[in-house]
Each structure stands twice: as structure tokens, then as C-alpha cells.
Chain A
Amino acid sequence: MSNPQQLRFSKEHEWLSPAEDGVSTVGITEFAANALGDVVYAQLPEVGDTVTAGETCGELESTKSVSDLYSPVSGEVVEANQDVVDDPSLVNTAPFEGGWLFKVRVSEEPKDLLSADEYTEFSGA
């Protein structure tokens, strides 16, 4: 698996796209999706919610377990991916593309997000 070079990554295995007009897209990495197994339910933050970097903002449920979803940045949610709510398996099949989770108007971004290469080394994948 390869982690897209243009993204940045949290140690909780979320990815963050470069901001466009102040809005970034958030998802979980392929490494995390593989570790979870088939995702069957996604509870995403709602439009208008304020999320805080490093804090939980939803949950992802797989066959075997439930995992908290952490936001990699602080800001206001402007869109949640309804396609993933309807078909959570998108998180497994296209974690960096159609399986994105939410879009956030970033107010603050932590300094310690990882580059693709750093994340690859961190996750050992």
C-alpha cells in the first residue's frame, strides 16, 4: 500500500488533505482500514459540529470491534460523506478517495502531523 504524498497524517491514522479555500478533507488511512476489517457502520460528525484536533468526533464499527474516530485538526465540519454512511465499505475499498469521512473548515492545525513518508515509517506499512 502507498500513502499519497500530498496528504498529511495523524498518529491516530487519519489523513488530511491540503486545504482548498480553508477546507480540508479527512479520512482514515488504508493501514487503519485494513486493521479494522470490514467497516459496517460509520457515525460521522454533523455539519456545523466543532471538532478538536486529537479528540473523538465519531466512530467506525467493523465486524470485530468499534473504534473512535479522531479529528486530525480543529475546525468546523462543513460536510459529512453521506456515501460512506450509506455504504461504509467505501472506507475499506477506497480509504483515500471515495471513502473520505468529512470536510472541515480548519481553524487550527497541529504542528506534529506526519508526511506520507513519516507516516509510512510510523505505521510500519
Chain B
Amino acid sequence: MSTAPRTTALDAVHRALGATMTDFAGWDMPLRYGSERDEHQAVRTRAGLFDLSHMGEITVTGPQAAALLDFSLVGNISSVAVGRARYTMICQEDGGILDDLIVYRLEERRYMVVANASNAQTVLDALSARAAGFDAEVRDDRDAYALIAVQGPASPGILASLTDADLDGLKYYAGLPGTVAGVPALIARTGYTGEDGFELFSAPEHAETLWTALTEAGAEAGLIPCGLSCRDTLRLEAGMPLYGHELTTALTPFDAGLGRVVKFEKEGDFVGRAALEAAAERASAKPPRKLVGLVAEGRRVPRAGMSVVAGGEVVGEVTSGAPSPTLGKPIAMAYLDAAHAEPGTAGVGVDIRGTHEPYEVVALPFYKRQK
């Protein structure tokens, strides 16, 4: 296997824009085009344009497509209406999280599962293995789609100028096939920024047409291209977990405070059910570490893997940290022992290269948009 990073259909566009590129999960992706804080603020206040073509699309079709996904994932996927989407997870038999996913029901018997780039192969392999005995087909569609996101309060107006699709009728976590700038695209009202916005799945050969049309349509509203660096600070402020940071195979959804995605009430067995029932019980009887927010009193930035300390003891670990452009202070997500996890708990700090830096424990998210 080649170790050269893969490039998206928009690679030449990024280079022409002077993007700083980075290797992300084996893909050569834009990290930022200019100032990542300007890009962050554009998404919060106007609009930003992202190439997310590294995300992994998997199509599941057939008479038992819904049954296969009910068995393979922790959510109640058969209950998702056509044209809607669901945030869910795929777990191991022991309850450990393999990935978090968005599943779109495109037709009665056709779903699109969108996995993180770093886990796409794992998810594909797991779904393929779990499909044994089901009348359903699991297809690797990673090369079939480019994915462009337009995110931010100005994004509905920008997109509306390029499509006849009924965007007002398109709710959060819904997706419909349509035409944007003259090319076919699946228009989804989803995102990972904490803002209103859309994700457009198209054939790779149409990606540049879409990108150019959105850039021009958004120019007046202040839309700018945005890289993965600001995507990370946007999702962190919005309290959204990132696989490999807040979510790992060592944690169940209950450990991550996301037990609500596990639907025990659905019919039939599903992979991980027994282990997850035990995890749910453990979580309610004796809370494990809890995922919380930390806000710095100083200016030094906590990073993933740093210890959270209180009274000279290690009481937790930072999973993600960054300077928050919106709050103007460093913030972090961290797993803390339950005794120190209540918002306002005094005396909590992060060990930043040997210095105890004081931090305030807060509830997530750090930022919630005004609707």
C-alpha cells in the first residue's frame, strides 16, 4: 500500500488559494488558508466553506438494509424517516466505540453511512462482517463522493441563491437530493461547527463547480474558505466529540456521556447490547469519569493528554484543548473524576509542562448559537 497521502478533487483549488496543507488520516487536507482565527470567526458570524472529502461514505442497500444497521449500530436506524439523518455510533462487542457516524436514509432501502476518515476502513470492515446473513449490500463509496460544507449564519442565503431545493423545509439532520449550481448533489443540513449550515455530497468531478459557485455566491456575505484547524476549534467550542480524542475503543458511549445514542428499546439484538447494558448500569450506579469543559484563567493552552490536577493529585485528562476564538481564552474538554466534575469545582488545574495552571470546570458546550 502506498503511504503517499490521498488528495481530494479540490486539491488544485486549495493550492491555488495558497492553503497550508496537512496530513490528516492519510489525506492531504487544507489546515488553513490564512488566519485560522479569521476562518473561525467567519463561520461564527458569516459563512465558511470546507472541503471534507476525506470523510468516508458507505452505502447500505437492500431489503434488510435497515435491519442490518439496527443490528450493527447502537441507534434505532429503522425508525429514521426517509430524508432524515441520525447521529449514532458503531461499537465493538465489548461496548467500545469504533466510530461515531451520521446515517442518512436516502430511500426506504438505501442508507448512506458517513464515517470519520481515520475509521472509514474499520467501519466498512465491521459492517461487511456484520452483514453476513442479512439481505443487504454494503458498498465502499469513499471514491464516489466529494463533500463540501458551507457553514455559518449566512449559509442558507448563499445556498438558496444556487438551488431551487426547499431549504426552508430542510430541517436540521435532514438531507434531500437536489441540484446546486447546475450539478446534482445530496443537500444535508448537518455540520460540525455549532452553526447552521449544509453539507453537499456530490460526484468528485462536480466538486470544483460547486466550490467555485459557492465562493462566488458567498463573496458578498463574507464567505471564506476554511481549513481543518478552525473546524477543530469550532467543534470544540460547540462541545462536539472528536474520535481519537473524546471517543475511543476504550470507552463506551456511556463513558463519553453520550449514552442517549444507545437505543436499548429497539427490536432484536445488536452488537454490543449486553456490554452496553452493563455499562449503562455502571454509569448510573457509580459515575465514572465525566466529560466536562475547562476554561483557563490564564493564557497557556491545554493540549490532549495533559493531566488535570487538584490538591496535588491527578484527577483527569485533557482530551482536546485549544485557544477559543469566541471566548478569548484557552478551553479544553477533559475526563474528570466524578468528585471534581461539577461545574464550579474549586482548585482544579491543568499540568502544563510542569506548572499547575488554574482552570474553571464548566458544563459543555462552551458555545451555543442563538436561534
Contacts and interface: CB of A to CB of B under 8 A. Distances in A.
Given A41-B301, A61-B301, A64-B229, A34 B323 contact: no
Interface residues of B, number: 16
Contacts of A65: 303
B300 A61 contact: yes
Contacts, number: 40
Given A34-B20, A61-B323, A66 B229 contact: no
B245 interface: no
Interface size, A (range): 10 to 19
Contacts of B299: 40-41, 61
B323 A41 contact: yes
A92 B35 CA distance: 9
Interface string A20-34: 000000000000001
Interface string A65-88: 110000000000000000000000
B300 to A, nearest CB: 6
B137 to A, nearest CB: 40
Nearest to A42: B299
Contacts of A89: 37
A63 B303 contact: no
Contacts of B35: 37-38, 92
B300 A41 contact: yes
Nearest to A63: B36
In order of increasing CB-CB distance, the 9 nearest A-B pairs are: A40-B323, A41-B299, A38-B37, A61-B301, A63-B36, A38-B35, A38-B36, A37-B36, A63-B229
Interface of A: 34, 37-38, 40-41, 43, 61, 63-66, 89, 92
18 contacts: A37-B20, A37-B32, A37-B36, A38-B35, A38-B36, A38-B37, A40-B299, A40-B323, A41-B299, A41-B301, A43-B300, A61-B299, A63-B233, A64-B31, A64-B322, A66-B301, A66-B303, A92-B35
